[in-house]
C-alpha cells in the first residue's frame, strides 16, 4: 500500500524553552525534565513497529531521537532537514526583548507574515517548503512502514498545517508540546492528520513512578 505512517515528536524540554528564549539553530541540550520526557516517549513507542528514526541533528532533537531508537531497536539517522526554523539574529533572545528593542520586527513575526525573515534567518514560506520536501523524501523510502520524525516546534507546526490545510498565517489553535506523540499518514498525494498531542505518557503519575 502506498502509505507511510509518521510519528512526529518534538524534542524534550530545554532550559531555553523554560526561559522562552529563541533557540532556532542554536545547539541547546535537554534539561533534566527533557531527558525524562525523552525516556517517557521512548517507552510509549517501544512496542510499535518502527522502521527508522529520523532526528534533527541539533542536540536536543537528536538526544530525544536516540532514546526512541534505542527503545524501539530501530536505526537512528541525523537529518539536518528537520532542523528548527532559523531565526538568525533573534536566536538567544526572548520575544519580550525583541518586542521592546525591535517592535516593528516583532509585529511582523507575531502576525505570521509568511515572507518575513529575521536578519540572517528563514521565512515561514521557506521553512514550509523545506519541511514538505524532507518529509516526502523520508516517507517515500518507507512505503508500508512506520517511521518517527523527531524535530522542533516550528517543524511540528508546519506538519500540522500541511496535513490540515491551515494557512501559514492562520492563528495556531493546536499545541506543540515537548515529547508529545503526533501521528500522520503520508502518501505521494497528501499528508493526513491521524492524531495530535498525545501526552498520556507524560502525566505526573508516570513521572512519580519512574523517579522512585
Quote the pLDDT of residue 207. Answer: 62
Rama region for 144: left / alpha / beta (φ>0; ψ in -120 to 50; rest):
left
- Is residue 60 annotated as involved in ligand binding? yes
- Catalytic positions: 11, 84
The alpha carbon of 5 is separated from its chain's Cα centroid by a whole number of angstroms, namely: 16
Please count the residues of the chain.
212
Quote the pLDDT of residue 1. Answer: 63
Domains and CATH numbers, the chain: 4-211 (3.40.50.1240)
Cβ distance 157 to 123 under 8 Å? Answer: no
The helix or strand, by DSSP H or E, that contains position 151, with its residue range, turns out to be strand 146-151
Q: How many other C-beta atoms lie within 10 A of the C-beta of residue 203?
A: 10
- Is residue 196 annotated as involved in ligand binding? no
Cβ distance 64 to 39 under 8 Å? Answer: no
Mean pLDDT by 10 residues, the chain (212 residues): 93 97 97 98 97 98 98 98 97 94 92 95 98 98 98 98 97 97 97 98 67 38
Largest Cα–Cα separation, the chain: 53
| Helix/strand/coil for 142 | coil
Quote the pLDDT of residue 210. Answer: 46
Quote the pLDDT of residue 211. Answer: 40
Please report, for the chain, how many H helices and E strands are present, in that order. 8, 6
- Is residue 142 annotated as involved in ligand binding? no
Quote the pLDDT of residue 212. Answer: 35
Amino acid at each position: 500500500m502506498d502509505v507511510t505512517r509518521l510519528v512526529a515528536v518534538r524534542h524534550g524540554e530545554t532550559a531555553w524553552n523554560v526561559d522562552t528564549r529563541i533557540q532556532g539553530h542554536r545547539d541547546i541540550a535537554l534539561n533534566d525534565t527533557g531527558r525524562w520526557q525523552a525516556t517517557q516517549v521512548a517507552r510509549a513507542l517501544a512496542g510499535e513497529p518502527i522502521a527508522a528514526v529520523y532526528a534533527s541533528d541539533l542536540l536536543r532533537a537528536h538526544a530525544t531521537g536516540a532514546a526512541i531508537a534505542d527503545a524501539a531497536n530501530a536505526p537512528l539517522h541525523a537529518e539536518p532537514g528537520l532542523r528548527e526554523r532559523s531565526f538568525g539574529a533573534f536566536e538567544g533572545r526572548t520575544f519580550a526583548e525583541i518586542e521592546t528593542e525591535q517592535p516593528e520586527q516583532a509585529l511582523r513575526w507575531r502576525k505570521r507574515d509568511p515572507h518575513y525573515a529575521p536578519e540572517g534567518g528563514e521565512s515561514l514560506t521557506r521553512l514550509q517548503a523545506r519541511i514538505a520536501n524532507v518529509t516526502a523524501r523520508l516517507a517515500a523510502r518507507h512505503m508500508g512502514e512506520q517511521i518517527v520524525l523527531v524535530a522542533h516546534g516550528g517543524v511540528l507546526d508546519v506538519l500540522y498545517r500541511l496535513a490540515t490545510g491551515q494557512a501559514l498565517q492562520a492563528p495556531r489553535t493546536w499545541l506543540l508540546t515537548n515529547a508529545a506523540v503526533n501521528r500522520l499518514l503520508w502518501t505521494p498525494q497528501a499528508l493526513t492528520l491521524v492524531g495530535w498531542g498525545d501526552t498520556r505518557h507524560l502525566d505526573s503519575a508516570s513521572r512519580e513512578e519512574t523517579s522512585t
